[in-house]
């Protein structure tokens, strides 16, 4: 079924008694990458909603009309509303877990709308906005998080692979698929989504190597939301993530991940490059995870509120709304109608989830071993007794 989608930390010192020369050398070493750590982002919309031109990427959005801008805004608003509803459903006990995309709507909608129908997507578990762009019904995303299916859609229908929970492995899947596309002689492209945390996985490095050596038509789209659960980016890398591509022999680019137009332009460029047979590109969408890593996480334990407040000023939806209003491309009637539509989407999602069956609690013990196993049998019996104890307490 388809939907109606249109703290910087000080470097460690091994000893307090460090010579002045050594201190100077350490400072220079630490500052070396920092001089490159804040490169100019590819940006077409400022946080205030002002349109700015970019000499390299301007042509990739020259066809965007006011109607297209309203469509991008609608996509982001409805995706955020769906995400908020899913978070609420998890808090109400309807879902076992949820990974929110709050704050990353522009990176996902911009890149998702850059894709052609024949392109293929390999997501992680947070690409709800990309799923929306590919026409996957939002309610299908929730069955897995409720525990009633292993992925509620056919990847062939929308060229959108099932969500991947194992961190970073989808980059290898995407690279292999892209190598197959090249051998078939097709002019389509493949895109793999992953986060800054996944960039530290060996799977990603292996995918980069194979993609470069075999000139695979794949775009590696990294949403750098600053935090790999509780680990900040500066604890993972000494250079900006996009610069890692240089070591593998293909280009990388950092884009303002809260600018939907810039994400659209940069992704279009990378996809076209792949289709021309020029190989992979690494796109680092510099954005921010406004909420928790998942609903089992508490970000107040490891980051400060002032960090979030600073990023709220760069909100991707507010940014595009300001632009629409400043240019006279949208009026209050448009925003009001969209709010009504988002309410309807939330209601549909809520009703669909509550109509889903309860997950089979004993299914986790099935298909572990082909011929059964004594330990699994023992664990099954223990868990069954544990479940039965609740019924006894109720009586």
Which active-site residues does the annotation give?
289, 293, 302
- Given the structure tokens 């762009």, which residue do they identify? 133
- With both helix axes pointing from N to C terminus, report the angle between 66-91 and 105-112 in degrees, rounded to the nearest 10: 130
- CA 273 distance to own-chain centroid: 22
Which SS3 state, helix, strand or coil, does residue 232 take? strand
Question: CA nearest 178: which of 150, 156, 210?
Answer: 210
Q: What φ, ψ does residue 138 adopt, rounded to 5°?
A: -55, -35
Dihedral sign, CA of 286, 290, 295, 301? positive
Contact assessment for residue 83 and residue 135, using Cβ atoms and an 8 Å cutoff: no
CA distance 363 to 360: 5
Rounded (5°) CA angle 119-120-124: 140
* Cβ 113 vs Cβ 133: under 8 Å: yes
Assess contact for 297 and 229: CB atoms under 8 A. Answer: yes
Q: How many CB atoms lie within 10 A of CB 11?
A: 9
d(CA 89, CA 350): 7
Radius of gyration of the chain (CA): 23
């Amino acid at each position: 079924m388809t939907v109606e989608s249109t703290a910087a930390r000080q470097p460690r010192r091994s000893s307090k008694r460090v010579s002045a020369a050594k201190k100077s050398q350490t400072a220079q070493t630490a500052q070396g990458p920092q001089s490159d750590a804040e490169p100019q982002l590819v940006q077409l919309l400022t946080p205030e909603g002002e349109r700015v031109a970019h000499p390299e990427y301007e042509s990739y959005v020259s066809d965007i009309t006011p109607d297209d801008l309203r469509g991008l805004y609608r996509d982001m608003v409805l995706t955020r509303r769906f995400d908020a509803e899913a978070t609420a459903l998890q808090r109400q006990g309807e879902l076992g877990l949820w990974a929110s995309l709050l704050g990353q709507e522009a990176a996902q909608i911009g890149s998702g709308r850059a894709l052609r129908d024949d392109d293929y997507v390999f997501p992680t578990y947070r690409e709800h906005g990309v799923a929306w762009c590919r026409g996957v019904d939002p309610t299908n995303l929730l069955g897995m998080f409720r525990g009633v299916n292993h992925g509620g859609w056919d990847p062939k229908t929308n060229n959108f692979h099932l969500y991947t929970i194992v961190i970073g492995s989808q980059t290898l899947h995407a690279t292999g698929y892209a190598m197959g596309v090249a051998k078939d002689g097709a002019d389509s492209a493949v895109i793999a989504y992953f986060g800054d945390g996944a960039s530290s996985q060996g799977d990603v490095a292996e995918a980069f190597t194979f993609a470069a050596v075999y000139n695979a038509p794949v775009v590696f789209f990294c949403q750098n939301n600053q935090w790999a659960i509780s680990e900040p980016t500066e604890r993972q890398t000494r250079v900006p993530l996009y610069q890692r591509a240089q070591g593998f022999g293909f280009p990388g680019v950092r884009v303002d991940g809260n600018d939907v137009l810039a994400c659209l332009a940069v992704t279009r460029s990378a996809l076209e490059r792949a289709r021309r047979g020029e190989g992979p590109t690494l796109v680092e969408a510099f954005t921010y995870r406004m909420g928790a890593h998942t609903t089992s996480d508490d970000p107040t334990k490891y980051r400060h509120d002032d960090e979030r407040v600073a990023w709220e000023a760069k909100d991707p939806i507010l940014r595009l709304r300001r632009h629409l209003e400043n240019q006279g491309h949208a009026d209050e009637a448009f925003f009001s109608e969209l709010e009504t539509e988002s309410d309807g989407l939330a209601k549909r999602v809520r009703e669909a989830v509550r109509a889903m069956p309860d997950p089979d609690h004993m299914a986790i013990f099935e298909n572990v071993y082909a011929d059964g196993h004594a330990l699994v049998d023992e664990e099954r019996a223990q868990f069954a007794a544990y479940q039965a104890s609740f019924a006894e307490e109720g009586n």
